[in-house]
Amino acid sequence: MMSYEGAQWEAGLEVLHALSEAGGEAYFVGGCVHDALLGIEASDIDIATSADPGQVLRLFPDTLPTGLKHGTVTVRRSGFFFEVTTFRQEAEYSDGRRPDDVFFVRDVREDLARRDFTINAMAAGADGAIVDPFGGMDDLQARRLRAVGEPARRFDEDALRIVRCVRFAARYGFAVDAPTWAGVLACRDKLRLVAMERIGAELDKMMSAGDPGRAFGLLLAASLPARFKLPLPGAWLARLGRIAAPSADAADALIEAAGSARSGLSRYLPERADADLRWAALFLAGAAAAEEAEEAMKQLHLAGRRVKRIGDIVRLHQSLSIPSGREAWRTNWTIGVLDRGLEAAADWQQLFGAQRMREAFEVPDELQAAAGEWTAAMPAVRAADLAIKGDELCAAANKPPGPWIAIALRRLLEQVAMGTLNNDKETLRIAFLKELRER
Residues 142-159 pLDDT 10s? 999 999 999 999 999 999
- The predicted pLDDT at position 123 comes to 97
Please tell me the predicted confidence (pLDDT) of residue 100: 59
Q: Specify the pLDDT at position 95.
A: 54
- CA 85, CA 74: separation in Å to the nearest integer? 8
Average pLDDT over every residue of 230-235: 93
Per-residue model confidence (pLDDT) at position 390 = 93
pLDDT digits (tens, 9 = 90+) for 184-193: 999 999 999 9
Find the range with the poorest average confidence among 11-25, 248-262, 327-341.
Answer: 248-262
333 Cβ neighbours under 8 A, 6+ residues apart: 320, 367, 370, 371, 374, 375
Domains of the chain: residue spans and CATH: 1-141 (3.30.460.10), 383-438 (1.10.246.80)
Q: Contact at 8 Å (CB) between 24 and 84?
A: no
Of the pLDDT bands very low, low, confident and very high (cuts 50, 70, 90), residue 101 is: low
Residues 118-151 pLDDT 10s: 999 999 999 999 999 999 999 999 999 999 999 9
Whether the per-residue pLDDT at 78 is higher than 80: the answer is: yes
* pLDDT surpassing 70 at residue 234: yes
Cα 116 versus chain centre, distance: 21
